[in-house]
Structures are given as C-alpha cells and as structure tokens.
Structure 1
Amino acid sequence: MAALPSTAACASARAGPAAGILDYAAIHACLLRGDRRLSLPILTLLLLAHFRFLAAAAGAHFSPAVSRLASRLRLSPSMAAVTLLALGNGAPDAFASAAALRGAGGLPRAGLAAILSAGAFVSAFVVGAVALIAAPFAVPPASFARDVFFYLVAASALFCVYLSAEIFLWQAVGLVLFYVFFVGLVFYMDLGAAGKLVSSAELEMGRAAMDLPVSVEHGKQRAATIWTVLTKVTRVWDWPVTFLLKLTIPSTLPSEWNRFYVCANICLCPLILLYSFSSFIPLDSRIVFLFPQIRFPLWSVVLLVSFCLALSHFRFEKETPERENIASTLISFVMSVFWISTMAGELLNCLAAIGVIMDLPPAILGMTVLAWGNSIGDLVADVALAKNGQPTIAIAGCFAGPMFNMLVGLGTALVMQTARVYPKAFVLEFHVGIVVAFVFLLLSLMGTLFVVTWARFRVPRFWGYCLMGLYVLFTIVSIAIASSSG
C-alpha cells in the first residue's frame, strides 16, 4: 500500500508529453520513486552538466562561428550583433513567445512577461556580466547610442501600447517594421562609414580568429599544483561533451579537420535539423521512397541518405582542405544555435523540476526560473564573446537580441492575433508585474546610455555591479508582487 502514492505520482508524471529530451518529473517520480534525497543531488548534477554543455557549445563553437562569419562577410560588430547574434540568441525565444501568445488562459500574459523579464535580465544582468569580465573597454559612439536608443524607443512605444490595454493591426505591423528599419539603418551606417567601423585592427582580429581555435577555457589550466586533481576530473567530465559536440558541429578550421568527425557531421546534422523541426514536420511522417508501394518514416529516409553520403565522403575525400569553407562555418553556426537552444530548454525544465520538488510557489518560479532559463543562451553566448576578446559584439548583442525578441518575436505573434480580430483591437490583459518589468527595463537602458556616454563611450566596471544590483532589486520586487497577487 505504501507504494501506491509513488505509483500514482509516476503515472501522473508520465501522463503528459515530455517538454524536452529528458522528462525530469518522470525521473523524480518513477526512476527515483519520489525520494527528494536522491532526486535533488541527481538533478543538480544534471543541471551542472547542462551548464557545462552550454558553455562548451557557446565558447568553442558559437562564438568562433560568429567571429569568423563576421570576418568573412566583413560585418561590423553592430551589424554582426543585429543579424547573426540576434538571430542566434533570439530566434528560440521569439518562437516560444509567439507560441505563448497564441495560447489560451494566462499564456498571452505569460508570453509578454517572459519577453520583458528576459529583456530586463539581458539589459541589466548580462550587460553587467560583460562589463565585469571585459571592462573597461571602448564602444563605438554612434552604433552604441543608436542600439540603446532604438531599444529604448521600442520599449517605450510598447509600454504606451500596453497601458492603453489594446493593440490594433497597424500597431503590431509597426513593431516588426521598426526592427526592419533598424537593421536597414545599421546597414546604411556601415556603408556610409566606408570601413571606419570595420577597422583594419578588427579585420586582423577576425583573421586571427579564423586561424586559431577559440575557447573560453583557454588560460584556466594555469592554476597551481593544488588544482591538478580538479583539472583531471574536469577533463574526464569534458570529454563526452566535447566528443558529442564534435560529432554534431562541423569544425571550421582546416587544422582541426578530421575525416571521421566530418563523416559523422554529414550523417548526424540532417537528423538533428529534422528533429528541430519536428513540431512542424513529425519525424514519423510516412513518405514514398524508392518503392512506390511502401511508405517509410521520414527519419529513416533522411538517415539512409545522410549515411550513404557520409560513407561516400569517407571513401573518396582523404585530403585536408586548404582553407576554411564558408558552408561549414554556416552549418557550425546553425548547429551551435540548435545546441544552445536545446540545452537552454533542458536547463529550464530541470530548474522547473527542482523548484516543484522543493515546493516553491509557481509565482516565484515564473519570475526567476522561467526568466533566467529563457535568457541563459544570451548570457552564455555574450559572456563567451566577451572572454574571447569580442566585447563590442557582445555588448551590441545585449541590446539587439532582446529587441529582436520584442519586435520580431512578440510583434509577429501580435500581428497574428490582431489579424484574427481585425478591424477590432486585440485586448491586452493588465498586470502590475508587467508594468514593473517595463519600468526596470527602461531604467536599465536609460542608465546604461547615460553612464557610458558620461564615461566617453567606455564601459566602466563599476556600472556592471550597479546593473547587477538593479536586476536583484527587480527580482525582489517582482517576486513580492507575484506572491501577493498570485
């Protein structure tokens, strides 16, 4: 009889579909029989593994891919931030917010709150982290003022729309077009500068990034003898993570070319991309292939074709490429975005499961775990760029990424909703917590613009501490409001 509650909890955990690769609720209720003494340490280890996976994907693959693409395409730091970095960091959050806004019940409010909380997290905590790591460093005056000012205008406009409690179709379309205008302005300013933004020093730095492997772990093993054992343990921990990433993310450096890993990339990357689109195209969709009378699952056809291509490549391609291939760099960028997005989702689900096991109120989970989980990809990617000597791209991405989420992700979802009720307005549900998120977001943006301008467009280290303190205050106020209002 004592096993009945555990059995019921296990059945309840398995009733719904898993939100990610692992079902953490089922691990707790079924595999570990609901024992907190076992579940909390094991889930904490999984949490650390997710963090390490995120750091490795961002530092060893995503950051070098962004640097090399920016160098090959001759993009300025601001242009790279509003295109490559915004798309890489913002696309998963944009899709999630769009799905939430299309949902019923409290999901539309949750989608708007998630975008604003993530924006406050990035503009305060992530900018603060970049400042503490790389400060003091200079930023281009024109591009920095432009990025912060446009984000400030966009947030202020959306705040005014939210206070009116309704939004029309033309306003929603205006949000998306505002970001298109912003990208066009960045492109125009880069062309007008005629190479001033992309200085020769930046190009040399980009070429050096193409020749040398970039990793956030460089320099960390210069510790004293006391850390030798810890270093060995870390290497054992890192090996499976590094091996899996090499199997699924192509190397962009000719010096790191390996025939086995290239064949594994050819075989596995199409399957992973198919899995990433499984919400639109089910993996078990039946299609006709070779035999007209037989319908094969889509995943088996993709696996067979990619395996044959990998086998032929292993058989005939035996020479190391002489120079970097732009196609490999693009695929490396896409696969890095996939792993960062996927592992950020796993991290979020694991954090949520730990919160449920510890009986934390849903309001506190929503204002902390969900906001942090949605932005962990931005934090890891931007910090990795700052550590790799690219703080200018990182600081620009701290504003371009959240603005992309707000204007393109949220804006696209609002266009869909307002088009459904056209010519009427789509009603926005008022909540004081969202107003507080707007206020703190605007405060962080105005403060950063003022302080950096006052410091003659250098990011001072003390402002990093101030921004982190501002975010801690925002979190405390938000939790208090969420706990009192429910």
Structure 2
Amino acid sequence: MASLADTACASVRSNAGGARAPSGLLSYASLHACTLHGDRRLSLPLLALLLLLHFRILAAAAGSHFSPAVSRLASRLRLSPSMAAVTLLAMGNGAPDAFASAAALRGGGGMPRAGLAAVLSAGAFVSAFVVGAVALIAPPHFAVPPASFSRDVFLYLLAASALFCVYLSAEIFLWQAVALVLFYAFFVGLVFYMDLGAAAPGKPVVGSAELDQMADALPVSVEHQKRQRARLWTVLTKVTRVWDWPVTFVLKLTIPSTLPSEWNKFYICANICLCPLILLYSFSSFIPLDSRIVFLLPHIRFPLWSVVLLVSFCLALSHFHFEKEAPETENIASTLISFIMSVFWISTMAGELLNCLATIGVIMDLPPAILGMTVLAWGNSIGDLVADVALAKNGQPTIAIAGCFAGPMFNMLVGLGTALVMQTARVYPKPFILEFHVGIVVAFVFLLLSLMGTLLVVTWARYRVPRFWGYCLMGLYILFTIVSIAIASSSG
C-alpha cells in the first residue's frame, strides 16, 4: 500500500512540474497523494473544509468589498441604476462564475467541459430557481418594467441560442468568440440608449442611494434573520463568526476601505505594503517574481519582489508617521484600488475553488461534467440566490429580477467569451474544438426553456410575475438537476 502511495505521489509531483499543471496557491493533488498518503478518509474532509473556506473568502470579497466599491464607483461615474445593474453590478454577481469558468476553460483534461457546463448550469439555476424564489417571496403578481424586462430576457435568450448553435457545430472560430464579448457591449449600449430616452429633463441620473441599498440589502437581511434564529442557530452563528474573523482580517489587510468612517491607520499601512506585492504576484506569469534587477547598488541584482516590498514598506512607514487623521471625504483612488484588489481575490479564490473541486472529482472518480453542473454552479450562484431573495424581501423585486438576467448574461458573454477569445487566438486561424456532451445539450435546452417560458408567461400576465410560475420554474430546475446528474453519472 505504501508503494502505491509513493508511486501516486511521485506521479503527482512529476505532473506538477509540467506545463499543464494548474497554477494556484496550493497543490491539492499533492496534499492528497503525498501529505495524506492517498487516504480518502483524511483527504475528503480536509478538501471539503478548504472548499468551504474558498467559498467564504470569495463571498466575503464579493459582498463586503467588491459590491460597495462597485456601488460607489457607479455613484462617482453618475450611472443610472439600470446602467449600473448591467455593468458594475452584473460584474459583481457574475465575476465569480466568470473567473471560475475561464479558469476551467484554460485547464486540461475534462475541465473545459466542466467550465462550459458550469456557465450553463449557473444560468439555468439563476434564471429558473432564483427567479422562481423571487416570484414566491415577493408580493403576489408584482409588476416588472415592460421595456427593460423584455430587452433583458430576449437578448439573453438570443445570446444563449447563438452559443447553442456554435456548440452544435463542435468548433468555434476567433470571430465568433469576439462576437460574444461584443454582443454584451451592444447590450450595455442599448441599455444606455434606452436610459437616455427614458430620463426626464432635470431628473438626476445618479442612483447612489438605491445602489447602496442594493449592496447592503443582503447583510441587513441576513443580520435581521440571525436575530430571529433559535438557540441552535445562535451557536452556529458564533462558530461562523470565529471562522469569519481570519477571513475578514486577511481581506482588510489587502483591500482598502472606501469610506472615511472605516479608516484605520494599521490597515491602511498594511494595504500600502501588501497591495503592490499582491498585484506583482498576479502578473507573475508575465513578470517572474524572482526577476533580477539593479536597485540602488550597482552591479548587484535584487529579486523584483524584494525591491517592490522594500519600496512599499518604506511608503507604509512614511504614511504611518505623517498621516494622523482620517480623510474628510471619500478617496476615489482607494475605491479604485479596492475594486482591483477585490477582483484579484475573486479571481484567485475562483481558481483555487476549481482546482480543489477537480481534485475532489479525481478522488471520488466523478465525471467532470457532474462537477460543473452541480457543485461549481451552485457554489458560485448561491450568492445570486441570497442577494436577489434579500432584495425581494426588502421590497425591490423588480431589481432582483433584473439581476437574475444581467449577471448570468455577463458570465456567459464576457466571462466565457473572453476565455474563448484567448483559446481561439491561441489556435488561430484554426477553430477551437468544443467537446460534445449530451449533458451540455440538456443544459442548453433547459436554459432556453426557462427563458422562453418566463418571457411568454410574464408577457401574457401583462408584465406581472405570477406566483404559480415561480413553482413551475423551481420544479423545472429540479428536473434539470436530476436529468443532468443521471446523464453525467451514466456517460462519464
């Protein structure tokens, strides 16, 4: 048994040195095969805990840092609520999906198929299950704006249909991948044009209060629910807070605060010291961290990371010495850096999440498609579910419904589209081959059915969302999940 474990460990280490090994903070395959000697009883619980940790960091970075930064950037840029919803807020909901799916598409083996399956399954989850949940929680037969609702659902339906046709051809060319990204740009332009036409003269465009309410609706709703839990939930909440403390601490060290009221000298100095080093790490594939450069002393070459760390540390010390009070107004530079660092954490944790899921799939001998259609789709979309339901409970069901289509559309067109552009550019002028799988076809069919059904039913009900349709959508998604798991389990 020991020899088998040693052989597996040696194989993992040899693959880790290859070009196709996935980059990341941890090597989960080595953790399983070498550190834990291939023992599933130890590996699976530990990897499950790491998976939960990645989910928690991803959710905290998106909810506590990315969303407020997006909201304040929208206010500074004077974006209308609808415009912000299809640009910045769509990035907030779709960024975890987009980064994880792009990382999957760049991977080897069956992970490209898992990435595509995750995009479609996440879209089906949000457009069916989340829309159904909002319809059940919101006031009965609530109305939606006819023009914007029809625009969002129809264009999402059109984009999904076009991608389905491309997938059935089993190959995608560079121009087709670029067209996916440009289609979302067209969608944003159309929203901007319609907003200009709908804006009344003299009416302020900025919706910062609404944007802040959207960004803060989830924490407020969750805190309100926590106060009403039983004693068991109180104990679980305390355990969760113990888990959350190191996550919150690390994120505060690396993501600047955007409000003067949240100013803290220690955290600001830590941001100045650590953010440049982290940004350098994010570009390590282009500029190696250990690149030798001449700095101050001639004929002596220092590693690039040490020079960046020294300069940023000196800047942090000077800030600690000279800055005594919080700024009087919000600093746009801090908001931009907060936005960038939040994107870094979302991207990094999405990649770690994907690598951890891939290792779990290998250990449990699960097909890649079943990972993409279940765990990866649910994990990245659970934030959409909780956030949109919270908005519906706070009396904003129309905003919640709009978010159910803008986020997945951004994920499919920009996230997946950008990854496909990179892959097709790599093999240009040849097409990038798309691996056929019946489970992905099923995901396309269910996604298109949910979108067409919602468009027809809501239009028939005079742009009101009937409660019965909420039950139908949730039942449709449950059926999709059962069918997808059965297909993935049987076909592999």
- Normalised to the residue count of structure 2, the TM-score between the two structures is 0.82
Which of 180, 197, 203 is the aligned partner of 1:192?
197
- Residue 164 to residue 8, structure 1, CA distance change in 2 (3 Å): closer
Contact 1:10 1:30 in 2 (8 A): yes
Q: CA RMSD in A?
A: 3.9
Distance in 1 (CA, whole Å) between partners of 2:229 and 2:491 is 52
SS at match of 1:218: helix
Which of 456, 464, 470 is the aligned partner of 2:476?
470
- Measured after TM superposition, the shift of residue 258 of structure 1 is 0.8
- Residue 466 to residue 202, structure 1, CA distance change in 2 (3 Å): farther
The residue type equivalent to 2:49 in the other structure is: L
- Residue 392 to residue 13, structure 1, CA distance change in 2 (3 Å): farther
**Pairwise mapping of residues 33-432 of structure 1 onto structure 2 (< 5 A)?**
33-90=37-94, 94=98, 112-128=116-132, 139-165=144-170, 170-194=175-199, 202-206=207-211, 217-223=222-228, 226-227=231-232, 228-372=234-378, 375=381, 392-412=398-418, 430-432=436-438
- Residue 233 to residue 413, structure 1, CA distance change in 2 (3 Å): closer
Q: Which moved more, 1:305-314 or 1:385-394?
A: 385-394
Distance in 2 (CA, whole Å) between partners of 1:332 and 1:482 is 40
Question: In structure 2, what is the equivalent of residue 15 of structure 1?
Answer: 14
Distance in 2 (CA, whole Å) between partners of 1:63 and 1:274 is 24
Distance in 1 (CA, whole Å) between partners of 2:450 and 2:251 is 36
Q: What fraction of aligned residue pairs are identical, expressed as a percent?
A: 84
Distance in 1 (CA, whole Å) between partners of 2:149 and 2:13 is 49
Contact 2:71 2:212 in 1 (8 A): no
The residue type equivalent to 1:11 in the other structure is: A
Q: Which moved more, 1:304-313 or 1:99-108?
A: 99-108
Distance in 2 (CA, whole Å) between partners of 1:197 and 1:150 is 30
Distance in 1 (CA, whole Å) between partners of 2:228 and 2:396 is 25
Q: Which moved more, 1:159-168 or 1:277-286?
A: 159-168
- Measured after TM superposition, the shift of residue 106 of structure 1 is 6.1
- Residue 349 to residue 180, structure 1, CA distance change in 2 (3 Å): same
- Measured after TM superposition, the shift of residue 443 of structure 1 is 1.0
The residue type equivalent to 1:239 in the other structure is: W
Contact 1:135 1:460 in 2 (8 A): no
Contact 1:348 1:373 in 2 (8 A): no
- Measured after TM superposition, the shift of residue 151 of structure 1 is 0.9
Aligned length: 485
Contact 2:184 2:413 in 1 (8 A): yes
- Measured after TM superposition, the shift of residue 172 of structure 1 is 4.3
Question: In structure 2, what is the equivalent of residue 24 of structure 1?
Answer: 28
Could you tell me which runs of 5 or more consecutive residues in structure 1 were left unpaired when the two chains were aligned: none
- Measured after TM superposition, the shift of residue 446 of structure 1 is 1.5
CA offsets per residue over residues 377-420 of structure 1, 9 Å max, x none? 76677667768877655543432333234334444555566677
- Normalised to the residue count of structure 1, the TM-score between the two structures is 0.83
Distance in 2 (CA, whole Å) between partners of 1:284 and 1:105 is 30
Question: In structure 1, what is the equivalent of residue 19 of structure 2?
Answer: none
- Measured after TM superposition, the shift of residue 190 of structure 1 is 1.6
Contact 2:59 2:383 in 1 (8 A): no
- Measured after TM superposition, the shift of residue 261 of structure 1 is 0.8
- Measured after TM superposition, the shift of residue 92 of structure 1 is 6.3
CA offsets per residue over residues 236-259 of structure 1, 9 Å max, x none? 222212211211121222211111
Question: In structure 2, what is the equivalent of residue 4 of structure 1?
Answer: 3
CA offsets per residue over residues 46-75 of structure 1, 9 Å max, x none? 333333333333332223223333233332
The residue type equivalent to 2:149 in the other structure is: F
Could you tell me which runs of 5 or more consecutive residues in structure 2 were left unpaired when the two chains were aligned: 17-21
